[in-house]
Amino acid sequence: MKKTVSFYDFCDAFVSANRDDSFSYEGKKALFDYFEELERDCCEEIELDVIAFCCEYSEYESVQEVMDQYSIRFEDLGLDDLIEQAVETIQEYIDDEEITIDLTEYADVKNGHDADTIQAILKDLNKTEEDLGLELVHDDDEVIEALEEYLRDRTQVVCCESDRIIIADY
C-alpha cells in the first residue's frame, strides 16, 4: 500500500516522531523538495522515515557553521584572496591608526595567514570584521558556490543557500 505524502504530512511526521526541532521549516521544505525530486529522478519511492532523515542529514544556518563542523578553511575553498584582502585591510587600519603591531607574528610559518589568524588579530585589536568592513566570514554567493563545490566531492549537498545548508552526513 502507498500513501501520497504532502508537505504538511511530512512536517507532521517530524512532530509525531518528537523530532520537530531537528530541522527548521525551511529545512524541512528543502528536504521534502529534495526527496520528491529524487523520487522523480530515480523512479523509486522513498520511505518517510524521520529518524533516518535526522541521522543522515544535518542543517546548518551559515557557511561558517559548516566550515567549522567540517574543519574547512577558506584556503581549502580556493578563496585565498579573501584572506589576502583581509590582511591588507587590517594593515591599512594599523597604518592609519599608527598602531604598533607586527602582522607577521600572527602568521603560521607553513601556511601564512588564515581565517583563524585574522580572527586573532581582530581580537587583539579589539575590533570585529564589521568594524573594519571585512567580509572574511560571510555567506555571499562566491563563498557558497565554493563551499558547495568543495562538499560535492565529499558528501551529498541537499540545499545550499545563504541561510540554509543541508548536508548528508554519510
Per-residue pLDDT of the chain (170 residues; tens, 9 = 90+): 678 899 999 999 999 999 999 999 999 999 999 999 999 999 999 999 999 999 999 998 877 788 888 888 777 877 777 777 778 888 888 888 787 877 777 766 445 666 677 778 888 888 887 787 776 655 467 777 888 888 887 788 887 776 678 888 75
Angle 41-60-83 from CA coordinates, rounded to 5°: 110
Dihedral, CA of residue 48, residue 54, residue 58 and residue 60, to nearest 10: 100
56 CB-near residues (< 8 Å, 6+ apart): 168, 169, 170
Q: What is the pLDDT of residue 12?
A: 96
Would the pTM count as exceeding 0.85? no
Instruction: Give the number of C-alpha atoms closer than 13 A to the C-alpha of residue 59, restricted to the C-beta side.
Output: 17
Q: What is the pLDDT of residue 54?
A: 94
Q: How many C-beta atoms lie closer than 10 Å to residue 92's C-beta?
A: 11
Pull the grid cell for residue 160: 545550499
Instruction: Write out the H or E segment, with its range, that includes residue 8.
Output: helix 7-16
